[in-house]
Amino acid sequence: MKIVAVCGMGIGTSVLLKMNTEKVLDQLGVDGQVEAADISAARGSASDANLVLTSAELAEELGPVDAEVVVIDNFFDMEEITAKLKAHVEG
């Protein structure tokens, strides 16, 4: 599973979201690759991704992509990230 964590600049909050997503995937026992990206790079990265994780504001700015876009309201909230990933991993 490939996941792209997206923020505006691709260096701060997307790296935090990437790290938290990796922790959740590990806890769920899911093999996945998580990439941090800025909004412009995310459009290309999403072409072969399964999921894009981002904020509501950036989800609108991202526009249509091939991957499913999942809005994360709080990048620090491990429970939210777990619940949203679990819903997509377990189907």
Per-residue model confidence (pLDDT) at position 91: 62
For domain 2-89, give its CATH number from 3.30.1380.10, 3.90.79.10, 3.40.1280.10, 3.40.50.2300: 3.40.50.2300
CA–CA distance, 41 with 79 (Å, rounded to integer): 27
Per-residue model confidence (pLDDT) at position 7: 86
Going from N- to C-terminal start, the domains of the chain cover 2-89
Q: What is the pTM of this model?
A: 0.91
Per-residue model confidence (pLDDT) at position 43: 85
Query: Residue type for 36, please?
Result: A
Per-residue model confidence (pLDDT) at position 63: 83
Q: What is the per-residue pLDDT across 32-78, written as a single tens digit (0 to 9) for each?
A: 999 999 888 888 888 899 999 999 999 988 888 889 999 999 999 99
Burial call 59-74: b when 16+ CB within 10 Å, e when fewer: beebeebebebbebee
